[in-house]
Structure 1
Amino acid sequence: MKIRKLRVPLAALPLAVLAALPSHAQTLSETLVTATRVEQPLTDVVADVTVIDRSILDRSGASALADVLARVPGISFVRNGGPASTTSLYVRGAETRFTAVFVDGVRVDSQSTGGATWQALPVSQIDRVEVVRGPAAAVYGSDALGGVIQIFTRKGEPGFAPSVEFGLGTHGTRKLSASLSSAAGSVDYALGVTRETSDGFNAQPTGNPDKDGYRSTSASARLGLQINPAHRIEATLLDSEQDAQYDAFTPGRDDHALQDVQTLGLSWSAQWSDSYKTRLSVGRSSDRYETTPSVYATDTTVSSYLWHNEWKFGSNQFTAALERREDRLNNASTTPAITQRSQNGLALGYGFRSGAHTLQLNARHDDDSEFGGQSTGGAAYAFAFMPQWRALVSAGTAFRAPTLFQRFSIYGTPNLEPETARNVEAGVKFDNAQGGTFSAIAYRNKVSNLITYVSGPGSCVNGVGAFPGCYGNTASAQYAGLTLAGTARMGAVALGASLDLQNPEDLTTKKQLARRPKKIATLTADAPVGGWKLGAELQLVGERFNNATNTQRLAGYGLLNLTASTLLAKDWTLLGRVDNLGDKTYETARGFANGGRMVYVGLKWAPI
């Protein structure tokens, strides 16, 4: 099927100023913890945020988290084939490494590729996702130039709740998932395990003419002990292993990418008085990537330690946190093979909410073992100029230290400088008790010392390798745009839409940054019909360029996805999803195919 360019006429998207896909699940009573590391009602949060709850994840039927996040305002992704293939996620057009990612408070990062390994984060083990768009380094330190995404695994609830799901899908996809959770007395727990396999499809039609399937196994565990009303201890675990076939440089060879991502966390929360509470936590994440039969392996370990303090006095809230992060990379391509560094951070925060006024101030200083001191700050203010309407404005700075691979690999440059960002944004938000929401956020984020790979003889003067090319602080970029989002109800029908108009630009070359569209729109509708819960979503993605020189154009595309679920009998639910109903041929990366029309049908047992 021929790929045709997609034009997105704004007049054809009247809902685009109303809603974002997941927003219909957000209510005024919901709370958010990611924006400031303090639990806040959504109505008090000044940042541009989206919450994705378990009902949205279940209804999505998606195998990959990137497919769910791509329907969130301000987010797009690129994938080299199927759900288990290499995935890059862009928040407001910013590189993958510019989004700080946490699983149950444990930082996830790769010191090889930079950023989280999105293809290895399993939807089946996730209970909730919080997305914060915009820099948050004054709260979280390095990495949060474009935003923060926090993933929460399932938590034990009162009662005893087992569940089992079996599903079949296109391309020989098979899924078996089981979970168990409970909360009784002072102990709560949740356990989950999922096994998914797929025969896959030919991800590179012009290359190896074979199917690129995958096998994945994931598990999660969360155990909580409420020692007394003021003290709680909690331990978390997430482990995800994948074996994904891919096409390398040798035709006819069966290449495999082996990925293992794991997080471990332990925390103690204490409410010492009505006005003072603390949280002490330690975490460790590991990200191992290996290929076979070609020999390559890289292993990142991130250890983190946090002591967070919070004081409340009337309308005032103060926070102070001490944090330490330790990165370690084991990679035969680096010199030495094992490299490491650490960062110590002090973060201070102040929040004020009274009447029509909301103020949030944050400042942080990080001392990097390699780069010395890095100071960042953020200020945000919201004014309720009418009932249910708020105007907001914010500014913030951020930084990302170069990865250990960028500095010490055969392509590395040891004297790289941290990438830095300055962001300003302004907008309006509307919320009412009937489920109607609207937001319009304009932003501009400038990044300096942008690290890119420079190829060509003589370009790697300061590098440690023998290759004709290396990483360097050679560019600057600007991520500017406008996001319109919200929700509305018409009787029993929940409607949603979002529209992103963005201009991710290389300020050095004045070219559009590779693989990032200027226009993204999503339209959604969900409704109960005759005992069924039906949903439809239309995704529209504008044209992009596959390369930095803007000579390889990728056409825009539109996808229509449908979902349905119904209660077959007591405790038994039938789930169904059709992705890409029109069987459109499209590319997010040149030369890599997508799966065409894909169908998934699942049967879930969960006692009510």
Structure 2
Amino acid sequence: MNYLKFGAAIIALFPGSAWAGEAANTEIVVTANGIEQPRDQVGQAITVIDRDQLDSSQTLAISDLLRTVPSVRVARNGSIGGVTSVFIRGGESSQTLVLIDGVRINDPSNPNAAFDFGSLLTGNIDRVEILRGPNSVIWGSQAIGGVVNVRIEEPTEGLAANLGAEYGYHNTAELRANVSGTSGKLSGSVGASYFRTDGISALAAGSERDGYRNFAANGKLKVAFNDSVNLDLRAYYTKGRVEFDDPFGATPDTFPETENRQFVGYVGLNANFADGRFRNRIAYTRTHLHRDGTEPNVPFSFNVNELKGKVDRFEYQGAFDIVDKVTLVFGIEHERTFASTFFPAGGGAAPDQANYRVTSEYGQLIVRPITGLTLTGGVRHDDYNIYGSQTTFGANFAYTPNAGRTVLRGTYAEGFRAPTLTESVLPFGNPALKAETAKSFDVGIEQNFLDDAVRATATYYHRKSDNQIAFSFTTFQSENIAKVLNEGLELELDVRPTQTLKISAGYNLVNATSRSNDGTFGNRLARRAKDSANASIDWKTPIGLAVAADVLLTGDSFDDLANTVRLNGYQIVTVRASYPVSDRFEVFGRIENLFDEKYQTVARYSTYGRNAYVGVRAKF
């Protein structure tokens, strides 16, 4: 790493923050327990990114924004749209559960059901909550590393519209629009976004550019039958086409493409009884994914494929305030999952198809015995028809003696990941597989000073994972043979010395190592740097011009579990600015990777050099 460049950037750009937000005692989160709660009553570590922060950062891809979240590591195969993995607190990408408006969108046709963040752009996203650490009591399978909960634009009380357009490096363009409003018993929001780029060569040794196209549409409709009962309809659709290079091709410039389509639907009925003390939600959700791979003039390539995944889910959740200081959250869920994979190069046989069913029950008690103290504990039971059952426990506390200025947190959490259809169903899977399991604890403190002008946070976590699924070259199938130890430290500092200046910095230690007895004991997990730090600056000048800068530092890592392929650390500096032409119009622009840093997050794959963008936003 070139620390002279970093030092020069800090001196030139200081002071830094895109993340100074509201005080902890005013922020509401939903990902911890599936219901709305003040953040100072939640024991888990949660980061919230709202629409103002999304606009301020000017980020196109959600994964690029997640790089600044404590203990989150991101690896992308080349250009925007390429396969993108997100690792939370050292967990596998398959152990990151992803939700859109509370609906699971992990891909069952993927061999380990990991979600590919390559297709998730900021578009009409309104808010992102990132819960760090296991939370399977509420969310079930895959919530081991953490949960990323994305919320699309919500209906507004009055008629409102927002538009955005951006253009920049290598013919990259984005357009987005959203309209929302309320009329009587109806409220709704509808929008769409389009993104395109010529991109960069996916493989570093290549020369031709690998582009990406993405169209996304979103809609929400709420019908309030009365003050206690309402109907909630949500839909999200995205279609993308990404070009990439075959790492096993004869040359680095090959021409495979993949078209990805995803539909997420939600139909829910909410009913409140007993003067709002008993809140009920019953819902049906559908996630449907379809991927088609092509490679011109290469008929027997494994890049030619058709993959389908479908998840139908029925769920009921209740939240009952037994007394003023005791709330019971409980629910029952039933899920049917289907996956189909077809590779003509595998012999032209019919597609491999499989499905499973799971029924789940959970209960969680939230107790506030004294002012400022919140105790939470719960249990979940999942019964799978293909491999058996899993019981999960969790408990946490949050204590603030001074109305949110100081918050002490502690969590014991368990998580699990059920074997996927590819991993557990014959002919290629192993029906004897067990679920991956993890046990974790963390402790932390958050302190607000000077009327919330300064906020400091420190969190330590420790997690052990057992029965992780890995391919065995002895049996030539998946086995529960991997064990992992993850521990780390998260430090954050946000300073707001004036109403026009925000400064933040953070340091994260992620020590993710193998504990398997297969020759890798003590090795660091692939693509998970041990050290990272970030700093940001936002200053609104007296003339209304907002100028800002971000610095991201990431230490060395390895591309493989054997720790033989090193990925050098790097530092990325971004500068950005925006100016409100009027109350309704704003122009903005940024330069990413200001010092043209050369680095890789995946061995052999390209990353962006210096690049620049300009755009305009409008609100009505």
TM bucket normalised to smaller = over 0.9
The correspondence of residues 55-204 of structure 1 with structure 2, limited to 5 A, is: 55-111=52-108, 112-113=110-111, 114-204=113-203
| Distance verdict in 2 for CA 1:286–1:22, change over 3 Å | farther
- Aligned amino acid, residue 76 of structure 1: R
1:441 partner SS: strand
20-29 vs 556-565, greater mean Cα deviation: 20-29
Q: What residue number does 1:279 align with?
A: 281
Q: What residue number does 1:405 align with?
A: 422
2:123 partner SS: helix
321-330 vs 409-418, greater mean Cα deviation: 409-418
Q: CA deviation at 1:311?
A: 0.9
| Distance verdict in 2 for CA 1:27–1:250, change over 3 Å | same
Q: What residue number does 1:464 align with?
A: none
Q: CA deviation at 1:384?
A: 3.2
Q: Is the 8 A contact 2:490 2:506 kept in 1?
A: yes
Deviation sequence 1:253-294 (CA, Å, 0-9, x none): 421111112210111111112321101111111222221124
Q: Is the 8 A contact 2:40 2:400 kept in 1?
A: no
Q: What residue number does 1:262 align with?
A: 263
The correspondence of residues 451-466 of structure 1 with structure 2, limited to 5 A, is: 451-455=469-473, 459-460=474-475
1:532 aligns with 2:542: no
After the TM superposition, which segments of 4 or more aligned residues of structure 1 sit over 6 Å from their partners? Answer: 5-10
Q: CA deviation at 1:486?
A: 3.4
Q: Is the 8 A contact 2:23 2:452 kept in 1?
A: no
Rounded Cα–Cα distance in structure 2 between residues aligned with 1:77 and 1:159: 38
Q: Is the 8 A contact 2:192 2:218 kept in 1?
A: yes
1:156 partner SS: coil
Deviation sequence 1:319-338 (CA, Å, 0-9, x none): 11011122110112699721
- Aligned amino acid, residue 270 of structure 2: S
Q: Which residue of 338, 352, 360 corresponds with 2:367?
A: 352
Q: Is the 8 A contact 2:17 2:537 kept in 1?
A: no
Rounded Cα–Cα distance in structure 1 between residues aligned with 2:314 and 2:552: 40
Rounded Cα–Cα distance in structure 1 between residues aligned with 2:571 and 2:330: 46
Rounded Cα–Cα distance in structure 1 between residues aligned with 2:145 and 2:375: 21
Q: CA deviation at 1:25?
A: 5.2
428-437 vs 275-284, greater mean Cα deviation: 428-437
Q: CA deviation at 1:40?
A: 0.3
| Distance verdict in 2 for CA 1:540–1:26, change over 3 Å | farther
1:437 aligns with 2:436: no
With the length of structure 1 as denominator, give the TM-score of the two structures. Answer: 0.92
1:581 partner SS: coil
- Aligned amino acid, residue 179 of structure 1: N
| Distance verdict in 2 for CA 1:27–1:183, change over 3 Å | farther
Q: What residue number does 1:466 align with?
A: none
Rounded Cα–Cα distance in structure 2 between residues aligned with 1:28 and 1:600: 37
The correspondence of residues 345-494 of structure 1 with structure 2, limited to 5 A, is: 345-353=360-368, 354-384=370-400, 388-408=405-425, 411-431=428-448, 433-455=451-473, 459-460=474-475, 469-491=476-498, 492-494=500-502
With the length of structure 2 as denominator, give the TM-score of the two structures. Answer: 0.90
The correspondence of residues 171-320 of structure 1 with structure 2, limited to 5 A, is: 171-206=170-205, 208-248=206-246, 249-251=249-251, 252-274=253-275, 275-293=277-295, 294-312=303-321, 313-320=323-330
1:497 aligns with 2:491: no
190-199 vs 22-31, greater mean Cα deviation: 22-31
Q: CA deviation at 1:297?
A: 1.6
Deviation sequence 1:412-445 (CA, Å, 0-9, x none): 3232211011111112122465343222111111
1:57 partner SS: helix
| Distance verdict in 2 for CA 1:280–1:256, change over 3 Å | same
1:426 partner SS: strand
1:68 partner SS: helix
| Distance verdict in 2 for CA 1:217–1:371, change over 3 Å | same
Q: Is the 8 A contact 1:335 1:408 kept in 2?
A: no
2:170 partner SS: helix
Q: Is the 8 A contact 2:510 2:528 kept in 1?
A: no
Rounded Cα–Cα distance in structure 1 between residues aligned with 2:342 and 2:497: 59
Rounded Cα–Cα distance in structure 1 between residues aligned with 2:372 and 2:455: 18
1:138 partner SS: helix
| Distance verdict in 2 for CA 1:475–1:8, change over 3 Å | farther
Q: What residue number does 1:517 align with?
A: 529
328-337 vs 591-600, greater mean Cα deviation: 328-337
Q: Which residue of 305, 324, 327 corresponds with 2:334?
A: 324
Q: CA deviation at 1:215?
A: 1.0
Q: Which residue of 41, 44, 61 corresponds with 2:41?
A: 44
| Distance verdict in 2 for CA 1:26–1:81, change over 3 Å | farther
Rounded Cα–Cα distance in structure 2 between residues aligned with 1:9 and 1:402: 43
Q: What residue number does 1:553 align with?
A: 566
Deviation sequence 1:328-373 (CA, Å, 0-9, x none): 1011269972101111111101011231421011111111111222
Q: What residue number does 1:465 align with?
A: none
Q: CA deviation at 1:115?
A: 2.2
Q: What residue number does 2:299 align with?
A: none
Rounded Cα–Cα distance in structure 2 between residues aligned with 1:116 and 1:173: 24
- Aligned amino acid, residue 66 of structure 1: S
Q: CA deviation at 1:510?
A: 1.2
Q: CA deviation at 1:570?
A: 4.7
Rounded Cα–Cα distance in structure 2 between residues aligned with 1:583 and 1:25: 34
Deviation sequence 1:226-254 (CA, Å, 0-9, x none): 22111121111111111111001243542
Rounded Cα–Cα distance in structure 1 between residues aligned with 2:351 and 2:3: 48
Deviation sequence 1:462-515 (CA, Å, 0-9, x none): xxxxxxx43221210011101112311112211111111120011122100011
Rounded Cα–Cα distance in structure 1 between residues aligned with 2:385 and 2:511: 35
Rounded Cα–Cα distance in structure 2 between residues aligned with 1:422 and 1:357: 24
Q: CA deviation at 1:563?
A: 2.0
Q: Is the 8 A contact 1:8 1:542 kept in 2?
A: no
1:97 partner SS: helix
Deviation sequence 1:67-91 (CA, Å, 0-9, x none): 1111111211000001100000001
Structure 1 runs not aligned, ≥5 long: 461-468
Count of residues in Structure 1 that have an aligned counterpart in Structure 2 = 588
- Aligned amino acid, residue 37 of structure 1: G
Rounded Cα–Cα distance in structure 1 between residues aligned with 2:37 and 2:61: 29
Rounded Cα–Cα distance in structure 1 between residues aligned with 2:241 and 2:93: 22
Rounded Cα–Cα distance in structure 2 between residues aligned with 1:398 and 1:584: 38
Q: What residue number does 2:352 align with?
A: 337
Rounded Cα–Cα distance in structure 2 between residues aligned with 1:102 and 1:289: 19
Q: CA deviation at 1:564?
A: 1.5
1:415 partner SS: coil
Q: CA deviation at 1:309?
A: 0.7
**What root-mean-square deviation, in Å, do the aligned CA atoms of Structure 1 and Structure 2 show?**
2.3
Q: Is the 8 A contact 2:201 2:244 kept in 1?
A: no
Rounded Cα–Cα distance in structure 2 between residues aligned with 1:410 and 1:5: 50
Q: Is the 8 A contact 2:537 2:549 kept in 1?
A: yes
| Distance verdict in 2 for CA 1:389–1:163, change over 3 Å | closer
| Distance verdict in 2 for CA 1:319–1:368, change over 3 Å | same
